[in-house]
Amino acid sequence: MTRLEIPRPGQVPFSLEETFALTLDAADPLHRFRREFVLPGREGGQPIAYFLGNSLGAMPRGARAEVEQVLEVWQRYGVEGFTEGSAPWATYQEGFRDTLASLVGARPGEVVTMNTLTVNLHLLLASFYRPEGSRVKVLMEDRAFPSDSYAVSSHLRLRGVDPATGIVVARPREGESSIRPDDLVALIAEQGEQLALVLLGGVNYYTGQCFDLAAVTAAGHRAGAVVGFDLAHAAGNVPLALHDWGADFAAWCSYKYLNGGPGAIGGAFIHERHGGAPALGRLAGWWGNAPASRFLMRPEFEADQGASGWQISTPPVLSMAPLRASLALFAEAGFTALRQKSESLTAYLEALVLGIPGNPVRILTPPDAAARGCQLSLHLPGRGRWLHQTLREQGVVTDYRDPDVVRLAPTPFYNTYHEVWRAGLAIRRAVCP
């Protein structure tokens, strides 16, 4: 076999041969979970290599049954479905709350499934962005997801702060694509008493960089700031320990690595030290009221304890049903095993790309496994969109972002080593015809 040495110490060399990929798949203890997902195909039933878990996760095979079960209860019980059946709607999320809490490193009472990502960010910003005196600024990363920037800018304006001066942007050094961890911590310290909030993406959607959230949380709190995270690209992708890190809040969507379906319900984390704090304001709604008095219909709001007290409206159970199916698979597979495979798949793809002779493709994602999830962002100046389309024509489905960046997410639940090999071969053929 022709072997390709990864130019980093401690890594097992990967082979360029197809048989090597097939051997890895045959030995993969998680390979059986691929059958638990319905993967997209081309017309005529031809399979595709779907590398879009960072955009929309594949459909869990059990999602249909979960949705149909909700419909059956609706048909049979009507409104009494809130209290009847094997999974009553009023407590529906209790059936998967523990698994979700485990995935983000929280205690069960610190997480809640509700709304969608940016709605949750708005609710959390209303509680946790509290400018006072000179402490008005919000620190974000360069190329934060646009919706985060929109949300933060709107809250600054509502409080009379100009986003042009109120948002501090952490950027990579000239000529680099990732933000150095020490630079990020130093910037937080530099802003000091002007900083009200640190809000970062756990994994940056554009570059795939995973930030050291423990260090960020500690630095933010030393500066006297509140610290929160957008975990859209981190939940179900990278190890998280929100409670132990002491993060104040976080929000995420469920349609990427959590496989909850298009526009799926989101989630939120509020550290337990805030969960029962009466002085912490919020935008209240009736489902956030304590269950014991919720149906007494009193005009006074009595907040439920923990993250549940930030709920606004009746839970959209049909939207929760596919997520319930996916989280059951996470519980069965175990996140440690999924993460190990994720690191291996991503390193394999990286090795195949780095091994292209005269390679014109630049990898924007950090080479350190601890500083990335299962995503590689490839930059091909002037030809990124062309590369994206060329790969698609060969049955390798990726994501494109301007300018000239192709993103691939080898997702451990359903992507295989052979698909990674196919992607590497397709990229090689495209850029080295």
- Active site amino acids: 145, 230, 255-256, 407
C-alpha count within 13 angstroms, C-beta hemisphere, residue 291: 8
Q: Which of 433, 400, 428 is nearest to 51 (CA)?
A: 400
> CA dihedral in degrees (409, 413, 414, 420; nearest 10)?
50
Other beta carbons within 10 Å of 53: 28
Alpha helices in 238-287 (DSSP H): 242-245, 272-275
Give the span between the Cα atoms of 216 and 222, in whole angstroms: 10
Q: How many CB atoms lie within 10 A of CB 78?
A: 10
Nearest to 125 by CA among 84, 81, 156: 156
Specify which residues 394 forms β-bridges with.
Answer: none
321's enclosing H/E stretch is: helix 317-333
> What contacts 131, CB < 8 A, 6 or more positions away?
159, 161, 196
Residue 172 sits at φ, ψ, to 5 deg, of: -70, 160
Number of neighbours of residue 414 by Cβ within 10 angstroms: 23
- The alpha carbons of the chain give a radius of gyration, in whole angstroms, of 22
3-class SS of residue 252: strand
Cα–Cα–Cα angle for 206, 209, 213, rounded to 5 degrees: 125
- Give yes or no for a contact between 170 and 187, defined as CB atoms under 8 angstroms apart: yes
Rounded to an integer, what distance in angstroms lies between the CA atom of residue 388 and that of residue 51?
A: 12
- Tokens in use for 186? 């130093």
Rounded CA gap, 45 and 358, in Å?
Answer: 36
Dihedrals φ, ψ of 201, to 5°?
-75, 135
